[in-house]
């Protein structure tokens, strides 16, 4: 039975990846802040082991890796809400770049050298000279978060070359699910569509409705991460849909799923409008498709519908439990 260590197991990506690995017969161990923390997905905590580790304390990461003795490490832990990186840039740089360094060093120093997947971000391309972006596109990151992700990406490549690590970065774009926190625009929209359809709310305030994103299903992305570590030779891969869609389109699909129109229910709030990216942030998954045989299995419409249905269940359950 192969053993996998998953950092960030309590989050969206970590929980989907843990479920996938368990279905494939892995023993799964999650690295968490203290041994009392539990994964977010229902029922998952009883099926995985937990070890404590702090990304900014390299000794604890090394101890966690040594205790788990994994064959594969999947590193998802770290901040993922980009706007917050402007408020606390030093924390973003430390958590993303230094945290990745701790994981890579622990893997390098462990006998048997586990294979390592690191969750990257297409935001590292920033004002790139082309769209869609591929694994060879020059980077011009435009936020502390994106800069930190580029540093982690470059560190993976350097240690792969210098230390012979089987390490790779999944260059991921926006990937969503019902496990996204509500501060993300996709969950904000799916919850609003559900709440308005149930008569609990009247409208939702959003930012730029014409902002474009490359959206995929988180479960598809983590399947790509697993495929990457099954290859004989390590390499970095873009994991994306390859299609840019607007926030308006996401909202229209979400509201249509519950028989509503966007008009009259969505209000643009200037406070939520962020500057447009100079280059459309869209990924080219050709390498993943050709080398890994990876293709998204859930369509955009199915993804949005899945999220709205989950929020309908949550809200109906909350209503049922109310006095």
Dump the DSSP string for 113-156: --EEEEE--GGGGBS-SSSSB-TT---B--SHHHHHHHHHHHHH
- CA neighbor of 307 nearest in space, from 258, 265, 254, 267: 254
Half-sphere exposure of 167 (CA within 13 A, CB side): 27
Cis amide prior to 132 (ω within 30 degrees): yes
What are 172's strand-pairing partners? 239
DSSP secondary structure code for residue 289 in this structure: I
Tokens (6 digits) for 226: 């697993």
**Full pLDDT tens readout for the chain, 323 residues:** 999 999 999 899 999 999 999 999 999 999 987 654 545 566 788 899 999 999 989 999 999 999 999 999 999 987 655 556 666 777 888 889 999 999 999 999 999 899 999 999 999 999 999 999 999 999 999 888 999 999 999 999 999 999 999 999 999 999 999 999 898 999 999 999 999 999 999 999 999 999 999 999 999 999 999 999 999 999 999 999 999 999 999 999 999 999 999 999 999 999 888 888 889 999 999 999 999 999 999 999 999 999 999 999 999 986 544 33
Torsion of CA 14, 298, 132, 286, to 10 degrees: 90
- Total length of the chain: 323
Query: pTM of the full predicted structure?
Result: 0.93
At the topology level, CATH places domain 3-175+215-239 in: Rossmann fold (3.40.50)
CA distance 275 to 16: 32
pLDDT given for residue 167 in this prediction: 98
Residue 44 falls in which region: left (phi positive, over 0), alpha (psi -120 to 50) or beta: alpha
Contacts 24+ apart (CB under 8 A), 200-203: 200/315, 200/319, 202/265, 203/264, 203/265, 203/266, 203/267
Q: What angle do CA 170, 224, 143 make, to 5 degrees?
A: 30
Q: Which residue's structure tokens are 């869209």? A: 282
Task: Tell me if residue 162 falls in helix, strand or coil.
Answer: helix
Instruction: State in words which class domain 180-213+244-276+298-317 has.
Output: alpha beta
Q: Where, residue-wise, is CATH 3.90.25.10 in the chain?
A: 180-213+244-276+298-317
Q: Where, residue-wise, is CATH 3.40.50.720 in the chain?
A: 3-175+215-239
User: For residue 266, which phi and psi values (nearest 5 degrees)?
Assistant: -115, 130
CA distance 139 to 148: 12
Torsion of CA 62, 74, 87, 311, to 10 degrees: -140
Largest alpha-carbon pair distance within the chain? 62
User: For residue 31, which phi and psi values (nearest 5 degrees)?
Assistant: -95, 125
- CA neighbor of 311 nearest in space, from 255, 241, 233: 255
- CA neighbor of 102 nearest in space, from 144, 148, 134, 55: 55
pLDDT given for residue 45 in this prediction: 80
């Amino acid at each position: 039975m192969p053993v996998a260590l998953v950092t960030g197991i309590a989050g969206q990506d970590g929980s989907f990846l843990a479920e996938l690995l368990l279905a494939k017969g892995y023993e799964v161990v999650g690295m968490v802040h203290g041994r009392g923390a539990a994964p977010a997905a229902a029922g998952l905590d009883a099926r995985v082991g937990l070890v404590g580790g702090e990304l900014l304390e390299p000794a604890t990461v090394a101890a966690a890796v040594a205790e788990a003795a994994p064959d594969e490490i999947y590193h998802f832990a770290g901040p993922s809400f980009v706007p917050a990186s402007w408020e606390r840039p030093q924390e973003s740089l430390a958590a993303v770049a230094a945290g990745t360094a701790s994981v890579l060093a622990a893997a390098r120093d462990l006998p048997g050298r586990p294979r390592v997947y690191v969750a990257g971000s297409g935001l590292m391309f920033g004002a790139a000279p082309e769209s869609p972006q591929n694994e060879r596109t020059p980077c011009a990151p435009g936020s502390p978060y994106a800069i930190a992700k580029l540093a982690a990406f470059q560190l993976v490549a350097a240690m792969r070359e210098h230390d012979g690590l089987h390490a790779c970065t999944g260059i991921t774009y926006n990937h969503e699910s019902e496990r996204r926190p509500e501060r993300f625009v996709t969950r904000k929209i799916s919850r609003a569509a559900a709440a308005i359809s149930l008569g609990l709310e009247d409208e939702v305030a959003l930012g730029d409705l014409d902002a474009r994103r490359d959206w995929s299903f988180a479960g598809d992305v983590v399947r790509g991460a697993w495929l990457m570590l099954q290859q004989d030779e390590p390499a970095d891969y873009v994991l994306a849909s390859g299609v840019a869609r607007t926030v308006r389109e996401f909202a229209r699909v979400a509201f249509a799923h519950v028989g509503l129109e966007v008009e009259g229910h969505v209000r643009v709030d200037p406070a939520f409008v962020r500057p447009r990216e100079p280059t459309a942030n869209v990924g080219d998954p050709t390498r993943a498709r050709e080398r890994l045989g990876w293709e998204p299995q859930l369509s955009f419409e199915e993804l949005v519908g899945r999220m709205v249905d989950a929020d309908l269940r949550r809200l109906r359950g909350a209503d049922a439990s109310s006095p």
